[in-house]
C-alpha cells in the first residue's frame, strides 16, 4: 500500500516524486515507457526562461518567475548540467523596440532587477555577441536565462527520489 502514486516519470512526475521523498510517506512512481523522460520532457528545448517571457498575471508567468531562481540550487544538489547563459531578444525596427520595451516592462512587474534585465544598444550587443547581425538596433538582455538537459535533469530527480525511498 502506498500513500501516493504518481503516474508519469517525466520532469513533473519526477519533481513531485523527489519532493515527496523528503517526507516519510511511501511513494510509487509509475512510468509506461522503458525509461524516464521519454515523452514530452525529452522533446523539451531545455530553456529556463526569464520572468519577462510570459504575460504577467498568468499562472505560467508566476511559475516561471518563481522557478527560474531555483535551478542553480537544484543543479548544485543534483548536478544535471544547468548553465546560466543569458539571452538576447533582438530588435531590428521601431516596432521591435516597442515589443522589447513591453517584455522589459513585463519582467519588471515580476521583480527583475536592473542588473538582470536590461535594454541594450548595438555596442553592448556586439560585446556580448561579436558575430551578431549588424542591423540589430536594440535588444533585451536577460542574465537569468539558462539551459539544462531535461532528460538528464529528470534522471537526476528520479535517482535522488529512489535514493530517498521512492519506488519506480
- What's the sign of the alpha-carbon dihedral 70, 71, 73, 77? positive
Catalytic residues: 49
CATH class for the domain made up of 1-46+149-168: alpha beta
Instruction: For residue range 41-93, list pLDDT tens digits in order.
Output: 988 999 999 989 888 999 999 999 999 999 999 999 999 999 999 999 999 99
Q: What is the pLDDT of residue 42?
A: 87
Q: What percent of the chain has pLDDT over 90?
A: 94
Distance of CA 137 to the CA centre of its chain: 27
Q: What is the pLDDT of residue 6?
A: 98
| Banded pLDDT at 118 (limits 50, 70, 90) | very high
In the chain, domain spans: 1-46+149-168, 48-148
Q: What percent of the chain has pLDDT over 70?
A: 100
Q: What is the pLDDT of residue 134?
A: 94
Whether pTM exceeds 0.75? yes
Q: What is the pLDDT of residue 153?
A: 97
Q: What is the pLDDT of residue 51?
A: 87
Amino acid at each position: 500500500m502506498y500513500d501516493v502514486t504518481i503516474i508519469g516519470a517525466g520532469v513533473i512526475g519526477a519533481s513531485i516524486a523527489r519532493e515527496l521523498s523528503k517526507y516519510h510517506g511511501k511513494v510509487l512512481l509509475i512510468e509506461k515507457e522503458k525509461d524516464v523522460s521519454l515523452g514530452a520532457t525529452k522533446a523539451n528545448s531545455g530553456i529556463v526562461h526569464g520572468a519577462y517571457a510570459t504575460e504577467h498575471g498568468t499562472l505560467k508567468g508566476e511559475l516561471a518567475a518563481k522557478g527560474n531562481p531555483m535551478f542553480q540550487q537544484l543543479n548544485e544538489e543534483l548536478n544535471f548540467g544547468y548553465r546560466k547563459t543569458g539571452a538576447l531578444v533582438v530588435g531590428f525596427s521601431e516596432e521591435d523596440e516597442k515589443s522589447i520595451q513591453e517584455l522589459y516592462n513585463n519582467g519588471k512587474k515580476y521583480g527583475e532587477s536592473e542588473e538582470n534585465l536590461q535594454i541594450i544598444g548595438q555596442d553592448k550587443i556586439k560585446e556580448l555577441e561579436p558575430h551578431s547581425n549588424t542591423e540589430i538596433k536594440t535588444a533585451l538582455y536577460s542574465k537569468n536565462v539558462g539551459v539544462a538537459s531535461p532528460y538528464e535533469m529528470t534522471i537526476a530527480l528520479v535517482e535522488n527520489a529512489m535514493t530517498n525511498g521512492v519506488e519506480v
